[in-house]
Structure 1
């Protein structure tokens, strides 16, 4: 990837540019919370650390749930054995239809109980839904947490979104797919970007609309929260547009 130009390194011929303040946001950002009441046994990441998609982030003490699963499995095996006996007896007409149906219902109930416990066990570990970095850690190993307690905040710093407010009177001059430049304050460099979408409505107070864009390419130095100036080129011979 070529190094982005410094501010003012390029000039546009026969164009003038409108400039608007922009901010970079992570498209994927998530607050991970506990889905169960349990003690944390492992917390594998710290603030600022990177992780891969699917990596184990948090593990809970689920000894009780594992024991419940073993018991549910034993109950299911017993119910299935009983149902098989009633099935053979039914073929010999040595049992009633009611007893056979009760045995089948016991199997279904045992399977449902086992499925419920398995769902609890699935919550015993939290894996990364995407590759990214840790923004904040709000829990510690050996801490007991309740269901819904926040644990980690994570984001994908490689997938950034550009957001800025555009005066509504200039909306006719910009379309989805249009390209523009962003001068980022923190890096003192200019980056290419593209318009992806517009907000659903115009703010009646500020008479502005949100514009969403994306950086063209990946630049490791860019981080969510950085800000700068979007330079939107406007042709000098463009006809004037009336305010909406």
Structure 2
């Protein structure tokens, strides 16, 4: 047994080493074979067919309400009543808040008492003046006292009216900024009210493009994925000297489901035409200096810089960078590499 134990041990070790080496070579060969046998990327392409279409200038803007106000109290005092129905529609004149008016009510009662006495004094002196029992100066002084008391009463009533805050117009109430019982001043914002009809959009144009819009002209407004035709209402009276831009305001159609402050993209027609191709947005590769698309040239992928224009939902206009007949990759862009082979799975000709 001892004579055969050493050779058997050596034979087993040699066999294991041989099997391990074969296994490693097999794995290496398999990996190398996968790399060599990797096929070209499968892509869908669109054959560019430029067509003439209206040229436009694109500007950024925001939706604005026809009326919007921050409600401040006109006098200082403690809130005794607060009626802020957040997000609800209210009518014009609805009472929003009341401020403690006890001191003003007392002042008005005092002034009314003095006014009553001065009226009686005036009536007595008027009778005496008719009988020449008093001189004109005394009567004029009594009349002046009545007028002074009436003015004091009117002033106190005006202050009392300021303790009641009402909605200046019908609209949607914003968020409540204070609580009942708080001490407020004219600098305190109670809430906001905005009109929920006749929405408008404000946007700016470079001064060179200012002649493109006039009151009554139409512009295309994109809100999210939808487009609306808006009518230009007015232009700012002068160009901003810092930005060299002109502010334009356009009226949106009734019933547009938008909230004031929403970002809007506006297209203003220049009246000219330009050759362009509409591509799916998925075909665009954003770049630091320019947008790019992937072209198929001689069976290989090639990056091409393009100038993009208006976006419409899931498509974008290409203003320059493409020639008629170019094959643009629309699906499988992420799997392509410049100079690497690609295989066209589907080709579509579309202008």
TM-score (norm 2): 0.60
Matched-pair contact (CA < 8 Å) for 1:136–1:154: no
Considering fraction of residues, name the structure with more helix: 2
How do 1:105-124 and structure 2 match up within 5 A?
105-124=144-163
Q: Quick one: distance in 1 between partners of 2:234 and 2:69?
A: 22
2:261 maps to 1:225: yes
**Higher RCO, 1 vs 2 (CA within 8 Å, ≥6 residues apart):** 1
Which runs of 5 or more structure 1 residues have no equivalent in the other structure?
Answer: 1-12, 239-244
Q: Quick one: distance in 2 between partners of 1:119 and 1:100?
A: 29
Q: Equivalent residue of 2:268, what SS?
A: strand
Bigger shift: 84-93 or 147-156? 147-156
CA distance change for structure 1 residues 205 and 146 in 2, over 3 Å: closer, same or farther?
closer
Matched-pair contact (CA < 8 Å) for 1:86–1:95: yes
Q: Deviations over 1:57-88 (max 9, x none)?
A: 11122122222212211211110011000000
Q: Pick from 58, 62, 68 the counterpart of residue 19 of structure 1.
A: 58
Q: Pick from 203, 211, 214 the counterpart of residue 251 of structure 2.
A: 214
CA distance change for structure 1 residues 86 and 59 in 2, over 3 Å: closer, same or farther?
same
2:250 maps to 1:198: no
Q: Quick one: distance in 2 between partners of 1:79 and 1:115?
A: 16
CA distance change for structure 1 residues 79 and 206 in 2, over 3 Å: closer, same or farther?
closer
CA drift of 1:237 comes to 5.9
- 1:59 is matched with which residue? 98
CA drift of 1:44 comes to 0.6
Which runs of 5 or more structure 2 residues have no equivalent in the other structure?
Answer: 1-51, 275-351
Q: Quick one: distance in 2 between partners of 1:86 and 1:155?
A: 56
Count residues with an aligned counterpart: 223
Larger Rg over CA atoms:
2
Q: Deviations over 1:87-139 (max 9, x none)?
A: 00011111122221121111111111111111111112111111112233222
Q: Deviations over 1:31-70 (max 9, x none)?
A: 2211112211111114323211111111122122222212
2:200 maps to 1:164: no
